[in-house]
Amino acid sequence: MAGLNLGTLDTTLTQMTLSGADTAAHVTAMAAAHKAQKINEAAQQFEAVFAAEMLKPMFEGLETAPPFGGGKGEEVFRSLLLQEYGKEIAKTEQLGLAKFVKAELLKLQEESSAS
């Protein structure tokens, strides 16, 4: 305790208090960024599901070659393939649906936080 300087201790405590406020602001900003990222992901996932559902009727009428196609396995894998097609289409942002979904989700979030 002999080497303890009260002026240094006071300065350190003040810096810790200020950095605590900065930390709270940083945590708030990080939470907002996380929410925005989640909204972006949800909007893109919605667009992917929409695209996959729109592709489904296109593949219903396709017949497969007998030696390598058909059966229950192909039915299962075709739906997985369509899901992946939907994800890839959503990544291109060419449909533009995710933009509108994101805007609506942000609007709903603002309304719920205001009340």
Q: Are 49 and 90 in contact (CB under 8 A)?
A: no
The residue among 44, 26, 19 whose CA lies nearest residue 95 is: 44
The residue among 76, 13, 87 whose CA lies nearest residue 49 is: 87
> In the Cβ-directed half-sphere of 63, how many Cα atoms lie within 13 Å?
3
Task: List, for residues 37-69, the tens digit of each pLDDT value.
Answer: 999 999 999 999 999 999 999 988 777 777 777
One DSSP character per residue, 29-76 reads HHHHHHHHHHHHHHHHHHHHHHHHHHHHHHHHT----TTT--HHHHHH
Task: List, for residues 13-42, the tens digit of each pLDDT value.
Answer: 555 555 666 777 777 888 888 888 999 999
pTM, two decimal places: 0.68
Q: How far is residue 113's CA from residue 104's CA, in Å, rounded to a whole number?
A: 14
**Token representation of residue 88:** 């890839």
